[in-house]
Amino acid sequence: MAADPIDVAATARSGPVVSADAVTFRVADPGRTLAGVRLCQEVRVPGDLLGFRFGSDGWELRLARPAVARMEYLVELEHPGGRREVVPDPANPARVPGAFGEKSVVEFPGYRAPWWVGAPAPAGRTSELAVAARSVADHISGTLWEPAGCSAAEPLPLLVVHDGPEYDALAHLTAYLAVMIDRGQLPRLRAALLAPGPRDDWYSGNGAYTRALCLAVLPRLRAIAPATAVIGMGTSLGALAMLHAQRRHGGSFDALFLQSGSFFHPSFDAHERRFAHYERVVRGVDAVLRAGGHSSPVPVVLTCGQIEENLENNRVMARALAAQRYDVALHEVPDVHNYTAWRDAFHPYLTRLLRMVAA
């Protein structure tokens, strides 16, 4: 059903208004065609503060600045009769893509996108991957990225990335690599961007997927892309799956870069019980936390938003890995669970890890 009309031109002129300590959202509605407007956000604003109030010619909501540098959001429009739709803010032309669609965004004073975003650099070249994996009765597909001027036989570090196509499309991963290599801030390296497939199943501590990754995909990658070191990378469930693989198959990875890992623990994440594979994730996490050590500890860098739900379980995981002789660093960043936050943490945190492993 098409949306009921609102005055788009008036709405576009109306806001939001951003200051150092607050943001005011405005949705123009001079004819009062809407029954209500509500903010949809993930920055821990209490629910009773999310409703807009109607003024003389539209809807307005003022919020104190959350503890973030930027804020992604949607608005829920309630139409007469009760129909609701959740859409980007019609008053805000600033949008960002995401795994679940486009969102509106406001940036608070002091926020700056990383310097490398949009910087020119040779793009490199890509080739398609498809590796048959008997344990999951499927192919694991993706793309192999190589820097410009790279010989196919040249041994280089290899970055293996869960959710690789999404990382590239939404966080510009290979653009970051290209710029950093071109500027001499990273060594020449390759990146295997692995597609997620049935993500919730494969990335949730699934032993069959772990075997496919370590016993089929990595050997194939090493055959076509000689590797001096292999670094695993992932976000959310993809981070969990990378850690699971390193724990089950010691020696497969030389380092890990894990962003906003979904290391579910009942003390912090009971609300995630609706996730189909929650119990499997908890069992796998608990096995790591209870372990006395590991035969092949590697450097691990974690990043997580300062107010996102996964922060406490990332802190617990970082402490547990450090106690098991992993070289661990957890960096808490002023954002939440989204690809822009993960992009903004590539430099300096991923940069430092790749330099260290390649040294």
| 295 located within any domain | yes
| 43 located within any domain | yes
Assign residue 358 a region (left: φ > 0; alpha: ψ between -120 and 50; beta: otherwise).
alpha
Query: Given 107, 141, 156, which residue is the final one in a domain?
Result: 107
Are 42 and 180 in the same domain?
Answer: no
**Mean predicted lDDT score pLDDT of the chain:** 94
Query: Given 107, 140, 161, which residue is the final one in a domain?
Result: 107
Are 274 and 225 in the same domain?
Answer: yes
| 115 located within any domain | no
**Tens-place pLDDT, residues 58-93:** 999 999 999 999 999 999 999 999 999 999 999 999
Residue 101, helix vs strand vs coil: coil
Are 207 and 81 in the same domain?
Answer: no
Residue 95, helix vs strand vs coil: strand
Q: 144: domain CATH number? A: 3.40.50.1820
Are 89 and 164 in the same domain?
Answer: no
Are 79 and 130 in the same domain?
Answer: no
Containing structural domain, residue 29: 8-107
Are 140 and 179 in the same domain?
Answer: yes
Query: Given 107, 133, 165, which residue is the final one in a domain?
Result: 107
**Tens-place pLDDT, residues 260-274:** 999 999 999 988 999
Rounded distance between C-alpha atoms, residue 227 and residue 35, angstroms: 60
| 1 located within any domain | no
- pLDDT category at 157 given cuts 50, 70, 90 is very high
Residue 107, helix vs strand vs coil: strand
Are 95 and 174 in the same domain?
Answer: no
* 359: its two tokens: 């040294």
What's the pTM value of the predicted model, to 2 decimals? Answer: 0.93
Are 33 and 92 in the same domain?
Answer: yes
For the residues 323-340, what does the mean pLDDT come to?
Answer: 97
Tell me which H or E stretch contains 211: helix 207-212
Are 138 and 96 in the same domain?
Answer: no
| 21 located within any domain | yes
Q: What domain count does the chain have?
A: 2
Q: Is the pLDDT of residue 12 over 50?
A: no
Are 84 and 195 in the same domain?
Answer: no
| 253 located within any domain | yes
Rounded distance between C-alpha atoms, residue 109 and residue 287, angstroms: 43
For the residues 152-173, what does the mean pLDDT come to?
Answer: 96
For the residues 186-212, what does the mean pLDDT come to?
Answer: 96
The per-residue pLDDT for 14 is 61
Are 178 and 301 in the same domain?
Answer: yes
Residue 25 CA: distances (Å) to CA of 7, 8, 11, 12: 16, 15, 11, 11
| 119 located within any domain | no
Q: 24: domain CATH number? A: 2.60.40.10
Cis-peptide into 147, omega within 30 deg = no
- pLDDT category at 2 given cuts 50, 70, 90 is very low
Are 236 and 320 in the same domain?
Answer: yes
| 2 located within any domain | no
Residue 257 CA: distances (Å) to CA of 36, 95, 226, 329, 351: 43, 27, 21, 10, 10
- Torsion, CA 235, CA 158, CA 191, CA 303, rounded to 10: 20
